[in-house]
């Protein structure tokens, strides 16, 4: 796929990503935005995203993000990045359906591709990595490099998760040549938490419960507690990783309340469980080691339903292991 060829002749181009945009979503949307502004100065380019966390305000183009999306005129080309079209913010969805051409760039294994043009590469660490591969190198500058770098570090846990490939590291190396302050970027957008965010993290850890012989862990934040600490969903990013990092845990579940009897669920695992399958069963998706979905019901209903699917995968793994042990 050649982005500029796909946009040839277009005078109005829009870009969007998924609801509750994370670092990869914001980084890749703003990287593509910067690139198109540079290469197609005569075209009108817009980015539609739900308001991202303030930590991303350092990325060029952040102030141009439109979170209202009151436009009604159809676009010539409409990009959806890091997401299936069904997961984009509601008002942008209506405009998306009217676009003359839709393009989907993503790395989620659960994305089966329904747009006019799509590039879904599950092996890619991040959508930002795909944007890097799709733009011409001469167009890179420090701002564009930084936007791509943010996307990559957020989806790889700063080059830690198994989705990090040698190619990801090469790209990282190429990007930091531009001289932006990457240690500070990593600290301020990935590791640092406000005091209240840290207190909530503490609370989540304190109230977590292990199940399945201590191999899984779950913790849940209800609306009352979120209101007490004055935190929103953007303040909860990364909490699930702390649950997953606990020794002996193969699958971590973090839930927070989004409505009456409604929860957003984040799943993390190691090679024991493919959580993208678990999430997909409940209408969500993601990657093998990191996935999510929305669920309805009481906290206990949700956990019971999830654990049936997690248990099934765990048991089939354990039985394979036992067979192996017997044969030895
Ligand atoms: P997180 O748990 O950080 O929200 O998401 C983990 C991964 O799963 C991310 O790649 C995210 O895009 C994906 N994901 C989370 N929730 C959903 C969902 O409801 N639907 C789909 N398709 N993917 C999701
Ligand atoms: Mn991503």
Judged by its nearest atom, the ligand closest to the C-alpha of residue 131 is 2
Rounded to an integer, the average pLDDT of 246-268 is 97
**pLDDT score recorded for residue 154:** 97
- For 18-36, write each residue's pLDDT tens digit: 999 999 999 999 999 999 9
* Structure-model confidence comparison of residues 212 and 112, the more confident one: 212
Rounded to an integer, the average pLDDT of 247-254 is 98
- For 159-177, write each residue's pLDDT tens digit: 999 999 999 999 999 999 9
Mutational pocket test of ligand 1: of 291, 294, 296, 302, the residue with most ligand atoms within 8 Å of the beta carbon = 291
- 284 CB under 6 A from ligand 1? yes
328 pLDDT above the threshold of 70: no
51 pLDDT above the threshold of 90: yes
- 241 CB under 6 A from ligand 1? no
User: Which residue from 250, 260, 266 is spatially nearest to 311, judged by alpha carbons?
Assistant: 250
316 pLDDT above the threshold of 80: yes
Rounded to an integer, the average pLDDT of 287-314 is 96
Sheet holding 101-106, edge to edge: 44-48, 12-16, 77-81, 101-106, 117-120
79 pLDDT above the threshold of 70: yes
Give kind and range of the element (H or E) at residue 221: strand 216-221
By percentage, how much of the chain surpasses pLDDT 90? Answer: 91
Rounded to an integer, the average pLDDT of 105-114 is 90
- 84 CB under 6 A from ligand 1? yes
326 pLDDT above the threshold of 90: no
Judged by its nearest atom, the ligand closest to the C-alpha of residue 266 is 1
- 135 CB under 6 A from ligand 1? no
Dist CA 105 CA 31 (whole Å): 13
Expressed in angstroms and rounded, the spacing between residue 183 Cα and the centre of ligand 1 is 26
Expressed in angstroms and rounded, the spacing between residue 58 Cα and the centre of ligand 2 is 19
Query: What residue's CA is closest to ligand 1, atom 20?
Result: 284
- For 180-212, write each residue's pLDDT tens digit: 999 999 999 999 999 999 999 999 999 999 999
**Burial (CB count <10 Å: 0-12, 13-18, 19+), residue 80:** buried
Instruction: State the average pLDDT for the chain.
Output: 95
* Structure-model confidence comparison of residues 253 and 316, the more confident one: 253
Query: What residue's CA is closest to ligand 1, atom 23?
Result: 285
Query: What residue's CA is closest to ligand 1, atom 21?
Result: 285
Expressed in angstroms and rounded, the spacing between residue 41 Cα and the centre of ligand 2 is 27
Expressed in angstroms and rounded, the spacing between residue 319 Cα and the centre of ligand 2 is 33
- 111 CB under 6 A from ligand 1? no
Contacts of 311 (CB under 8 A, 6+ apart): 212
Query: What residue's CA is closest to ligand 1, atom 22?
Result: 285
291 pLDDT above the threshold of 90: yes
115 pLDDT above the threshold of 70: yes
Q: Could you give the 3-state DSSP secondary structure of residue 211?
A: strand
**pLDDT score recorded for residue 178:** 98
Q: Indicate the pLDDT class of residue 320, thresholds 50, 70 and 90.
A: confident
Query: What residue's CA is closest to ligand 1, atom 12?
Result: 286
pTM, to two decimals: 0.93
Rounded to an integer, the average pLDDT of 134-151 is 97
DSSP state of 75: P
307 pLDDT above the threshold of 90: yes
């Amino acid at each position: 796929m050649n982005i500029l060829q796909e946009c040839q002749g277009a005078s109005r181009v829009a870009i969007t990503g998924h609801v509750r945009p994370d670092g990869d979503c914001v980084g890749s949307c703003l990287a593509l935005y910067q690139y198109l502004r540079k290469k197609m100065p005569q075209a009108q380019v817009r980015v539609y995203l739900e308001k991202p966390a303030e930590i991303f305000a350092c990325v060029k183009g952040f102030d141009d993000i439109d979170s209202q999306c009151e436009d009604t005129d159809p676009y010539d080309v409409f990009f959806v990045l890091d997401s299936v079209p069904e997961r984009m913010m509601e008002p942008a969805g209506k405009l998306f359906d009217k676009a003359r051409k839709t393009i989907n760039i993503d790395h989620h294994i659960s994305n089966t591709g329904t747009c006019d043009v799509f590039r879904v590469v599950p092996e890619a660490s991040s959508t930002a990595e795909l944007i890097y591969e799709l733009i011409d190198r001469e167009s890179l500058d420090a701002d564009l490099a930084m936007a791509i770098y943010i996307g990559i570090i957020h989806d790889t846990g700063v080059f830690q998760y198994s989705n990090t490939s040698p190619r990801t590291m090469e790209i990282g190396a190429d990007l930091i040549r531009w001289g932006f302050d990457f240690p500070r970027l990593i600290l301020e957008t990935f590791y640092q938490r406000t005091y209240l965010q840290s207190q909530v993290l503490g609370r989540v850890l304190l109230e977590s419960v292990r199940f399945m012989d201590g191999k899984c862990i779950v913790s849940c934040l209800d609306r009352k507690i979120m209101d007490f600490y004055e935190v929103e969903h953007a303040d909860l990013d990364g909490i699930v990783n702390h649950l997953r990092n606990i020794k002996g845990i193969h699958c971590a579940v973090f839930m927070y309340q989004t409505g009456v009897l409604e929860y957003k669920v984040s799943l993390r695992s190691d090679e024991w469980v493919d959580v993208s399958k678990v999430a997909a069963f409940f209408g969500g998706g993601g990657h093998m080691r990191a996935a999510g979905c929305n669920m309805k019901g009481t906290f206990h209903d949700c956990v019971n339903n999830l654990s049936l699917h997690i248990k099934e995968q765990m048991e089939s793994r354990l039985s394979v292991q036992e067979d192996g042990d017997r044969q030895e």
